[in-house]
Amino acid sequence: MPQQNGVLIVTGGSRGIGAATSLLGAERGYAVVVNYTNNVAAAEQVCARIHQQGGEAVAVRGDVANPADVEHIFQAADRLGTLTGLVNNAGMIYPAQRLDEMDNDRLRRSFEVNVFGTFYCAREAVKRMSTRHGGNGGAIVNISSGASKVGGGGTYLDYAAAKGAIDTFTVGLATEVAAEGIRVNNVRPGVIETEIHASAGDPGRVQRMVSQLPMARAGTAEEVARAILWLLSDESSYSTGTTVTVSGGRAILP
């Protein structure tokens, strides 16, 4: 598994979609920075699996909501080689609440991680990839959610709004840096079997949703990772500012 595609940063790379993307990225020839916030054991396990297959990876702690941590993550990538890919996967979701039940700390943290963190990471990537800054180009893939199309009323209004911001950010940044060798695209997962639902206090949500999906099953993290790697690759060389929806046939989810 020789490194042939440069360095890939996967934020929130220790579990779920992030872990699947890190593993597939290494398989496709990237040296991978597996970013994590707290679960060092999970991040190191992903790196160990990559090393066992002959790939190159490093686990790097950092909260994407903290600009100093983001700089640390990108400095670790610089030590591995030339940055060619960024997957803005790190995100968080709180337990279901109405807006009038949400406190300021929840709202602040939700947008700091889900929106500001994506901005901070993309900014550092542009500084390295853009031909305007002496770079050789690259690709950024943001991770949105089907929630951005429904609004999340009565459950995750803050999360849905944050992901709506990511949809818009993808289009805007794509046009801003298209002539500088950087492609910026978006993946919008639907109902996917990951730990995020349990972390939001609703571990049974996936199973409740399955009957409403045309394919009658939830998606896997690996299926989302394949879409991400396609957008990172030269196979999507004329695609920028677009969103690939991975939702089992249903674009808008309740």
Report the catalytic residues. 159
Strand arrangement of the beta sheet that strand 182-189 belongs to: 57-61, 31-36, 7-10, 83-88, 138-143, 182-189, 243-246
> Is the Cα dihedral 198, 200, 202, 205 positive or negative?
negative
Secondary structure class of 10 (helix, strand, coil): strand
| 25-58 as b/e: b if 16+ CB within 10 A | bbbbbbbbbbbbbeeeebbbbbbeebeeeebbbb
Tell me 115's DSSP state: I
| Token code pair at residue 99 | 């807006």
Give yes or no for a contact between 185 and 140, defined as CB atoms under 8 angstroms apart.
yes
Q: Which amino acid is at 171?
A: V
Cα–Cα distance measured from residue 179 to residue 159, given in angstroms and rounded to the nearest whole number: 32
Cα–Cα distance measured from residue 28 to residue 10, given in angstroms and rounded to the nearest whole number: 14
Tell me 68's DSSP state: H
141 by Cβ neighbours in 10 Å (0-12 / 13-18 / 19+) ranks as buried
Cα–Cα distance measured from residue 117 to residue 29, given in angstroms and rounded to the nearest whole number: 26
